[in-house]
Structure 1
């Protein structure tokens, strides 16, 4: 209301003082509610004001600043220009709209009887942009993790999180994602998305690496005849990747003419090139990293002698577990 009062006092004085001739317009009563135009930052907008055949004087104002008086441009902004269609239109075009263009725009009319105005409020929207996001992090299992994703835009963007595992389920909503006592299944690529429906969402990613000690998840024993090559397999899960060692009783094994140890990532293979009677028995696979150690027993056995041991499904982590496995196998005989 105060803005309209200013116009009702300022505009007639303006016309009287400068006495310019303008275009006739279709005027709107000053009591009419203000219309809104919503435009995206960087786009071009045209604020319409139409004329009729009545002789009137017109001007464009932004707040109390004169942009055009008739055809005379008072604004120094090169992005602003008049749009006229003969004597029928007196509209205002603004190119590359920015946030500082937001506000009220008034098409002011001076008739012989009174001054009238048509006012439009320009709303400038800004696409969501993420300006700060957490860096990739590496933590030990059980630690607390806090991720940050900050964004701005007009209107304020909504921020959502997802862990891009196969299900990609939605997580917390908001700038901060907190994980208490992180576990290995929560490792992966986290997606932060900021959206406010002005443009396509802005998306950033944070990689979370969770360290944990080795766990031997699979071993394969070998039933091999004398003179043949026996192959023992061992696979472990760990972050960082584990280092492997092979033992026979208490003796650490190394590659030689009769033995070959192969390591590929999280897997290791022990190859006995030419099996003899002395080679049959229990072998121990040991996986280590800086967070811990895990071991399991693997068997090289003579055909017809070791099936019961394998069928018992035992992975023995120490000598007493090995004895328990053997005892269980003997009881099944």
Structure 2
């Protein structure tokens, strides 16, 4: 049976050529596995013959490539499963009044680009020349363009575009990231773009980083808890070790170590003053070791705020005045932590409390935002310095305001006023008409 979509042309009208193809495209493009039917029509039922690209007649009435008779008007050439070897020129011929006529079309088999042999992750050591491989295969043969950080890569002193890759001269850590190998295929009537992402890792020994909010000088106090954290970039990712007094620090009841891919945190419960001193953070991978010293000094635990008061509430916020304690020669107060929790009974459940951290401001006035309306809140405040937080201030309670709906009485009064005005206007019009 003929495939779907075959159009039967009317070819017996005067002036029309004795042979025609439907569809009439001179070039037909398909992908492997697809199907197509091309029908060859003649006037007055003349015999038609289809020929392969090598000139041999297509005689099979069934199979992957075969011919079918179309109502004594010609023959259809049927492709049920197109393959790469099928590409070429196919010709239909007929003889009318001892004269041979031919019509041909070219079958182009397009194989979409594939990157089957291209590694998704490619690595090189720092300072080496690196060749990124991109094995783009397809027919027509795809042309390649490279992109890095969303920008095209051109031939220059840093990059050289190769047939199957991209040469990067003397790679640095900044060359790490995701590269895009974009393959472009252009055929007679269509074009296709396909991309493949390649993650580039530049192997290097660990390098320590300075992160905002973290310091190499840390303060603590006996009975307090302190965290020492070091950050290091490395490829492969580093292993971390901590040392004090040339001895490796190991976990215990008072010591915990939390390692991530590129950072390590040493948490210390300061039981006594022997825990103060210099700590060495070591970051290690196969390319080398890097060390960093963090100093833990004894400081004072801050006193609670001298004053917390002047609480004022709106429907969703509470504003308060916080006066820091006097510090003298001790570590200066750098901020406050305001704890707050909805109060369901006479006693607040501080285990469920939320908190907001504030830096010291000259105005001494601070505001909690995002609270629930018409709710009792318990509030207390801690001072903060470089060594940690103070004990909490005395608990205070304040209720947020209730959101008021628009007054129905006011709306009714307004409507009544409008109605009275309209009535007076109507009466005036009637009076004027009676006078006239």
TM-score tier, shorter chain, comes to: 0.5 to 0.7
From 254, 262, 287, give the equivalent of 2:249: 254
Contact 1:51 1:87 in 2 (8 A): no
Q: CA deviation at 1:182?
A: 1.8
Task: Map 1:187-202; keep pairs closer than 5 Å.
Answer: 187-196=176-185
The 1:103–1:77 alpha-carbon spacing in structure 2 relative to 1, beyond 3 Å, is farther
Question: How far apart are the structure 2 equivalents of 1:224 and 1:288?
Answer: 28
Task: Map 1:1-333; keep pairs closer than 5 Å.
Answer: 26-27=17-18, 35-53=26-44, 56-62=46-52, 63-67=54-58, 74-75=59-60, 78-134=63-119, 136-162=121-147, 167-171=149-153, 174-196=163-185, 204=196, 206-218=198-210, 219-220=214-215, 221-248=217-244, 250-255=245-250, 260-265=255-260, 266-290=262-286, 291-303=288-300
Contact 1:129 1:194 in 2 (8 A): no
Question: How far apart are the structure 2 equivalents of 1:279 and 1:151?
Answer: 60
Q: CA deviation at 1:116?
A: 2.0
Contact 1:52 1:88 in 2 (8 A): yes
Moved more, 271-280 or 113-122: 271-280
- Greater Cα radius of gyration, structure 1 or 2: 2
Question: How far apart are the structure 2 equivalents of 1:61 and 1:240?
Answer: 62
- SS of structure 2 residue aligned to 1:196: strand
Q: CA deviation at 1:262?
A: 0.9
The 1:88–1:293 alpha-carbon spacing in structure 2 relative to 1, beyond 3 Å, is same
Question: How far apart are the structure 2 equivalents of 1:271 and 1:57?
Answer: 92
The 1:281–1:149 alpha-carbon spacing in structure 2 relative to 1, beyond 3 Å, is closer
The 1:45–1:279 alpha-carbon spacing in structure 2 relative to 1, beyond 3 Å, is closer
Moved more, 139-148 or 230-239: 230-239
The 1:46–1:262 alpha-carbon spacing in structure 2 relative to 1, beyond 3 Å, is same
Using the size of structure 1 for normalisation, the TM-score is 0.66
- SS of structure 1 residue aligned to 2:71: coil
Aligned residues: 272
Higher RCO (C-alpha under 8 Å, 6+ residues apart)? 1
Question: How far apart are the structure 1 equivalents of 2:232 and 2:123?
Answer: 20
User: Structure 1, residues 218-274: CA drift from partner, whole Å, max 9, x if none?
Assistant: 4444332333333322222222333434444x5435247685251412333334433
Query: What's 1:330 paired with?
Result: none
Question: How far apart are the structure 2 equivalents of 1:253 and 1:39?
Answer: 68
Contact 1:27 1:118 in 2 (8 A): no
Question: How far apart are the structure 1 equivalents of 2:198 and 2:127?
Answer: 19
Contact 2:208 2:232 in 1 (8 A): yes
The 1:105–1:215 alpha-carbon spacing in structure 2 relative to 1, beyond 3 Å, is closer
RMSD across aligned positions (CA): 3.7
Contact 1:188 1:207 in 2 (8 A): yes
Query: Which runs of no fewer than 5 residues in structure 2 stay unpaired?
Result: 1-10, 155-160, 301-326, 335-436
